């Protein structure tokens, strides 16, 4: 199914690229995870009804809407680019019209990912190369603090994984790389998902 058709089903518009208004060294531009990549990912990663999903740097919300619609679980999206957030709000209002049946929570916050107070039950965290390693370290630190308060199985899903993230997680945190999902063979190093897990 084409990318446009998926957007049409969810009644949203998520295509395109959006740069930050000013040069940003730590924050990356908007671009959505391809739908076909999400299809591949969720053949491998099983979502439970009790999972609570957070997209750090959710952009126009493609992954958040897709997960909410497909799995009927609570989803939170965080976005800090104001112009992108406005487009996200438009999508949210349109998505609500086609998702009346879905009673799981869906929430978007206009804030920096590193300022998000991780909910003690959030347990599946999604990153599509949103920011620099220094911001990623702060976010993972916040996730680990919430783990200390409520020990639970936690997954980090990284699309387009970068070496610095991997090195940090493996060398300086208890997360273990549990699987990889190759999306295409055009760019063997990046066109894939890395899934890390922290168990009880």
Binding site for ligand SAM (CB under 6 A): 27-28, 30-33, 55, 57-59, 62-63, 78-81, 84, 112-114, 128-131, 135
Instruction: Report the nearest approach of ligand SAM to the CB of residue 39 (Å).
Output: 14
* Angular region, 59: left φ>0, alpha ψ -120 to 50, beta rest: left
The answer to whether 158 and 196 have CB atoms below 8 angstroms apart is yes
Question: Is 58 or 101 the residue whose CB approaches ligand SAM more closely?
Answer: 58
Question: Is 128 or 175 the residue whose CB approaches ligand SAM more closely?
Answer: 128
The answer to whether 188 and 195 have CB atoms below 8 angstroms apart is no
Instruction: Report the nearest approach of ligand SAM to the CB of residue 108 (Å).
Output: 11
Instruction: Report the nearest approach of ligand SAM to the CB of residue 162 (Å).
Output: 12
Q: Length of the chain in residues, anyone?
A: 200
The answer to whether 21 and 83 have CB atoms below 8 angstroms apart is yes
Question: Is 132 or 197 the residue whose CB approaches ligand SAM more closely?
Answer: 132
Question: Is 25 or 100 the residue whose CB approaches ligand SAM more closely?
Answer: 25
Q: 133-149 vs 163-172: helix axis angle to the nearest 10? A: 40
Instruction: Report the nearest approach of ligand SAM to the CB of residue 200 (Å).
Output: 27
Instruction: Report the nearest approach of ligand SAM to the CB of residue 110 (Å).
Output: 9
Question: Is 32 or 73 the residue whose CB approaches ligand SAM more closely?
Answer: 32
Instruction: Report the nearest approach of ligand SAM to the CB of residue 114 (Å).
Output: 6
Question: Is 103 or 132 the residue whose CB approaches ligand SAM more closely?
Answer: 132
C-alpha distances in Å from residue 54, one per residue of 19, 75, 78, 157: 22, 6, 8, 10
| Residue 21, token pair as written in the block | 């208004």
CA separation for the pair 190, 13 (Å, rounded): 25
CA separation for the pair 45, 66 (Å, rounded): 14
Chain residue at closest Cβ approach to ligand SAM: 57
Q: Which of 42, 43, 17, 12 is nearest to 30 (CA)?
A: 17
């Amino acid at each position: 199914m084409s990318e446009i058709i998926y957007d049409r089903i969810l009644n949203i518009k998520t295509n395109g690229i959006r740069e930050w208004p000013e040069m940003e060294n730590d924050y990356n531009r908007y671009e959505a995870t391809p739908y076909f990549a999400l299809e591949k990912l969720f053949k491998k990663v099983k979502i439970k009804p009790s999972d609570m999903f957070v997209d750090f740097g959710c952009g126009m919300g493609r992954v958040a809407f897709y997960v909410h619609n497909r799995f009927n679980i609570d989803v939170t999206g965080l976005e800090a680019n104001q112009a992108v957030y406005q487009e996200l709000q438009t999508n949210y209002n349109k998505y609500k019209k086609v998702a009346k049946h879905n009673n799981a929570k869906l929430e978007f916050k206009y804030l920096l990912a590193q300022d998000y107070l991780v909910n003690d039950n959030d347990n599946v965290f999604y990153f599509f190369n949103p920011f620099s390693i220094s911001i990623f370290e702060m976010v993972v630190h916040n996730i680990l603090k919430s783990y200390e308060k409520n020990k639970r199985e936690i997954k980090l899903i990284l699309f387009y994984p970068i070496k610095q993230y991997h090195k940090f997680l493996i060398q300086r945190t208890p997360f273990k790389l549990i699987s990889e999902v190759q999306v295409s063979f055009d760019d063997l190093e990046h066109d894939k998902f890395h899934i890390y897990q922290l168990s009880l």
